[in-house]
Structure 1
């Protein structure tokens, strides 16, 4: 029987082999395609100009450059150098295997080219984000009389998906103008989708919406692109409004839509909205997609419902490292470091090994808990598992040691980092800042900018200003506040402004601090009055403190903090009647004074001490 089969295989004509190769390729069985060709070659049958494009397509989808080079050799041996169809397939294969230079060599040697050939080469450059070369080829194609098609522009617009510079934004708008002149913007849904995707990448959602509204036919990708674009720029309300329109259009919903909607819920942080989206996820049967499960955990933690987040986590049968990290981060970022550490201990008893993100989150929990002993255990684990070179872990170790009071250990970790990026420098500068070591912070900042040539950002400047504030370095603080804007074009944030007010307030320059606050936007003033009021209490300035209290009560009527500070100021000055009046206002307005609490580690165990309560709760 085997001899008969072998005999039949030998006598099988080329067209039957081609049919088998075509069917396996069209059904996505690319490895099988290569195996069929191997059997065909062993039977002594050579391929033709129908065979090799299919084989090269299989190589492109498998990203198998080795097989592609072999088939290129066969093409040359059999004399298909002048076959445009085969040569175009070679260009596409080299492009999909990330050998753009080889694709260009094949393209340049083609005696005849079709529009598809030009499109393949343009796509090769665009996929490699070589947009200047792609546009140059587009112009050359046009000059030589090959009119670009919708596919040409889809390739170019898709190339902008990983780019965000202003230069490329202008190029993208030029392409849009070109499409309008050619009158092909809406000839294909894929072209309009790519155009919207380009604008969404550059966060220009007004232009994307214009394209969307003018589309006669919309696909699921059209809706998903717009919803995702709105979520990206933080406009969750517009995203959900568009989703409601989408449902009325009776468009099928896929899991990508839910990824965007859940991300929107994470931004908004509203539980009712989150639970509604979760209900839709369950209704559509997408709840068991890994990426959705993990986002649901994050969504509920952002909405302040750790119970629901934990319920989803516990229901996941096969937990990945991302599942564990999402739940641990949920606890850590919601002020539950003990639960975060407990879950981490449970995780390391499984077969799952933590990655850098997991360890960074756990170290953050140790920092919040002030647990130096646990932090040191994590560092030992880091070294035992060869993760000490990951900068995310190193940065978290610096932060943890600093928050746990060991600035010396923080500096040791910092010195071990070989290629320090801005985040590592910022972490160490901030460590000096919170320990009141202003000169050390400034010296390190100077070393970072001058010796290492690292360009500072708004975050590191916050740490520098905080260092100046905690150390009373007024002149330095004012100097850096100006340099930040003049030398690096960094606009002051709320954090920068509050640091400035705190800096001036600590040294008693209250009038100057008041002038600075009054020159700030109202949104910033709401935060800046708080350190100003504290400074008034520190220096016993009742008049300015009363002004600050009035301003705070107008801006934040639901906060009791300003009344408490004012009452304490009156008490410190012996004005008991006024102090009693302030405390009565807290009760009269129905405000709640939050209890102060501290944590202390004793013999490896953490304990919380709450003011107003003599009991100590063991953690």
Structure 2
């Protein structure tokens, strides 16, 4: 009988027909319809069997609807399916997919009989909830009790590792790999091998991921995509494109997920020629109308400093989503075009499109770059109108905007209203104090973050703390924090930390100590550290050390005019006028162009930019 001829109004039907339409609805993704059919069925006085409830619980898991799931649990208990392994496993899986792992475990513990599928479902529940210690513990228990794990068991665990950011699990993950080798099932199923690659990519161990990929006899499109995505995620865009070329030579079909990864790689590399070539391929394959692809293309061109192409793609989108607007606004904001970002935001508002938190955070960053307190306050009003005053991303952006616009008091007020402060919020205000020369306040807030809130600092917040020490001349404190971030938190110094340290020592006249620090740095970092030392030499009149810093900088970047300017200023500060004149002639002789300084002024809500040397015009 065709299901189209099955009338739900005709309740007096046998159970197998009800099951038939429930199965059809569930298998075709009509989950709400399946639950409605069950409601009609129960009203007709027909009870489900061990085929009915797994289908309905699957529908609840996919919606997800814990309300209907718990109702079905009650029906299962009332009818008496407590001993049915099939039904109980489906119940366990439903709770798991509705993010109620404790309830899933309760069902698991109460089961009279368990199958391998039941154990797999519980392992999957823990893995999905990132409770990897419990998942591995259950795997061991399962093995001890004589239930041999299957590929599905290990896919669940490896997928759990692939969603974690914590590198501490890599030894545990490697142990699982050894277990797979021992069982001889590493290459038994492609899905298992792909999960193993995904785990190593998540742990930034691309060499290990490549070994597995290279050993695969049969590679699916997911295998190629996983490796390409892994390379992009770990900042190896060149390797990602090399693998993509190899993939094309082997005539592997390309899907839009591959393009998503490659566009992200182009965004990372910032190579316009590569970006244009990839865009052409996207058009050729007909994937350009995918919403996510279009938005990534906008971001890609913006990162490659081609806002014209980004805007063309944006303008060609007939039905612009909120993400499309946000991508283009962010493109302008992050490419030092804050005025255009604000103009586009106003156009979006006029089109009756309600902004979300990400959009408002981006617009606030544009206000911060403009330094316009008045427009920033207008955007804050928009935040309240849209009920986003408790959005932490927006609150963080407000703190940054008020700080950059010179209102540190207002920045602190917004900070105090944040209920559950994360590291980013703390870092934003600490950095605000730093750039305003309020070193003691920055340090005090940093200590409060660690001691009172128990938040673990990262490399970024330490950059702000060192900057605060530098701007406030707190040399001893700066040296103490530079050492403590390595000793107490295992944070390896970056270029930013080293340059802050040299700037700090230079400001207080500890030039010999700064030189020793530079000479003790890794070679790739030294290149960035000589500039602040040269600036300090000018301030403190140390000609000999200034010449050394200049020679080192010219070895690294002979074409930078700023180096010559700094040296000329050093000669001038020491009254060595002939030497200064000679250096300036050298700048002209080499055809070097000094970057022009500029200022921006707000007049009646509009902005004018003035370069150094512009002639003012009287009204």
Q: Aligning the two structures, in what range does the TM-score lie when normalised by the shorter sequence?
A: over 0.9
Task: Name the residue aligned to 1:376.
Answer: 377
| CA deviation after TM superposition for structure 1 residue 34, in Å | 2.8
User: CA separation in 1, counterparts of 2:506 and 2:273?
Assistant: 42
Residue deviations 1:82-121 (CA, integer Å, cap 9, x gap): 3333333233233223333333343334333322222222
Contact 2:88 2:111 in 1 (8 A): yes
**Which whole-Å CA distance do the structure 1 matches of 2:418 and 2:50 have between them?**
57
**In 2, Cα distance between the equivalents of 1:343 and 1:369?**
15
1:611 positional shift: 1.0
1:106 paired residue number: 107
Name the residue aligned to 2:464: 463
**Cα deviation 1:306-332 (Å, max 9, x = unaligned):** 101111111122222222221111111
Superposed displacement of residue 240, structure 1: 0.9
User: Conserved in 2, the CA contact under 8 Å of 1:370 and 1:600?
Assistant: no
1:329: which partner in 2?
330
Alignment-derived partner of residue 134 in structure 1: 135
Q: CA separation in 2, counterparts of 1:8 and 1:268?
A: 61
Deviations 1:349-372 (A, max 9, x none): 222222232222222222222222
Render the CA deviation track for 1:288-323: whole Å, top value 9, x for unaligned: 222221111111111010101111111122222222
- Are 1:313 and 2:319 matched, yes or no? no
1:86 is aligned to: 87
Q: SS in structure 1 opposite 2:560?
A: coil
Question: Aligned partners of 2:122, 2:24: CA distance in 1, in Å?
Answer: 27
Shift of the 20–429 alpha-carbon distance from structure 1 to 2, 3 Å rule, reads closer
Other structure's SS at 1:599 match: strand
Q: Does 1:263 align with 2:264?
A: yes
When the two chains are superposed, the root-mean-square deviation of aligned CA atoms in Å is 2.6
Structure 1 portions without partners, runs of 5+: none
Instruction: Give the superposition deviation at 1:223.
Output: 1.0
Contact 1:465 1:480 in 2 (8 A): yes
Query: Are 1:47 and 2:22 matched, yes or no?
Result: no
Q: Deviations over 1:16-59 (max 9, x none)?
A: 44333333332223333333334444444443333333233223
Once residues 356 and 596 of structure 1 are traced to their aligned partners in structure 2, the CA distance between those partners, rounded to angstroms, is 34
Query: Closer, same or farther in 2 for the Cα pair 1:439/1:616, shift >3 Å?
Result: farther
Alpha-carbon distance between aligned partners in 1 of 2:334 and 2:282, rounded to the nearest angstrom: 25
1:271–1:440: structure 2 CA closer, same or farther, 3 Å change rule? same
Aligned equivalents of 1:456, 1:617: Cα separation in 2: 53
1:208-238 per-position Cα deviation (integer Å, ceiling 9, x unaligned): 1111111111111111111111111101111
Asked if the contact 1:239–1:261 (Cα under 8 Å) also holds between the matched residues in 2, the reply is: yes
Give the TM-score normalised by the residue count of structure 1.
0.92
Aligned partner of 2:446 in structure 1 is: 445
Q: Please, which moves more after superposition, 188-197 or 35-44?
A: 35-44
CA distance in 2, matches of 1:305, 1:328: 14
Aligned pairs for 1:121-160 (under 5 A) are: 121-160=122-161
1:489–1:48 distance in 2 versus 1, CA, 3 Å: closer
Name structure 2 gaps, 5 residues minimum. none
Match of 1:181? 182
What's 1:585 paired with?
Answer: 586
Q: Does 1:544 align with 2:545?
A: yes
In structure 2, relative to structure 1, the CA distance for the partners of 1:100 and 1:412 (3 Å cut) is closer
For the 8 Å contact 1:517–1:525, the answer to whether it is kept is yes
State the 1:184 CA deviation. Answer: 0.9
Distance in 2 of aligned mates of 1:252 and 1:541: 64
Q: Look up the match of 2:500.
A: 499
Q: Which residue of 2 aligns with 1:513?
A: 514
Please say if residues 433 and 468 of structure 2, whose CA atoms lie closer than 8 Å, have aligned partners that are also in contact. yes
Deviates more, 1:496-505 or 1:429-438: 429-438
Change (3 A) 1:529 1:25: same
Contact kept in structure 1, 2:8 and 2:40, CA below 8 Å:
no
Aligned-partner SS, 1:607: strand
Contact preservation (8 Å) 2:89, 2:118 = yes
Q: Which moved more, 1:296-305 or 1:569-578?
A: 569-578
The whole-number CA distance in structure 2 between the counterparts of 1:576 and 1:476 is: 38
Give the distance between the partners of 2:617 and 2:230, measured in 1 at CA: 49
Once residues 584 and 481 of structure 1 are traced to their aligned partners in structure 2, the CA distance between those partners, rounded to angstroms, is 41
| Pairs aligned (count) | 615
**TM-aligned CA deviation for residue 148 of structure 1:** 1.5
Verify: 1:198 aligned to 2:199, yes or no.
yes
CA displacement at 1:604 relative to structure 2: 3.7
8 Å CA contact 1:607–1:616 kept in 2: the answer is: no
Alpha-carbon distance in 1 for matches of 2:206, 2:273: 27
Alpha-carbon distance change, 160 to 6 in structure 1, aligned in 2, over 3 angstroms: closer
1:292 is aligned to 2:293: yes
Distance 1:448 1:100 in 2: 32
Decide whether the 8 Å contact of 1:84 with 1:112 is kept in 2: yes
- Tell me by how many angstroms 1:434 deviates: 1.9
**Given that residues 358 and 394 in structure 2 are in contact (C-alpha distance below 8 angstroms), is that contact kept between their aligned partners in structure 1?**
yes
CA distance in 2, matches of 1:20, 1:447: 61
What is the alpha-carbon distance in structure 2 between the residues aligned to residue 49 and residue 449 of structure 1?
A: 55
- Higher mean displacement: 258-267 or 345-354: 345-354
Residue of structure 2 equivalent to 1:454: 455
Secondary structure of the 1:334 match is coil
Paired residues of 1:371 and 1:606 also in contact (CA < 8 A): no
CA distance in 1, matches of 2:618, 2:114: 78
Q: Is the 1:370–1:601 contact (alpha carbons within 8 Å) kept by the matching residues of 2?
A: no
- Secondary structure of the residue aligned to 2:516 is helix
Once structures 1 and 2 are overlaid, which stretch shifts more, 377-386 or 180-189? 377-386
Deviation string for 1:253-301 (max 9, x for gaps)? 2221111111111110000111111112212222222222111111111
1:376-525 to structure 2, matched below 5 A, reads 376-525=377-526
1:268 & 1:488 partners in 2: Cα distance? 31
Inter-CA distance 71–443: structure 2 relative to 1 (3 Å threshold): closer
> 1:406 deviation in Å?
2.8
Change beyond 3 A, Cα 1:434–1:216: same
TM-score, length basis structure 2: 0.92
Q: Could you tell me whether the CA contact under 8 Å between 2:22 and 2:38 is conserved in 1?
A: yes
1:163, distance to aligned residue in structure 2 (A):
2.1
Deviation per CA, 1:98-152: give whole Å up to 9, x if none: 3333333433343333222222222222222222332222222222222221112
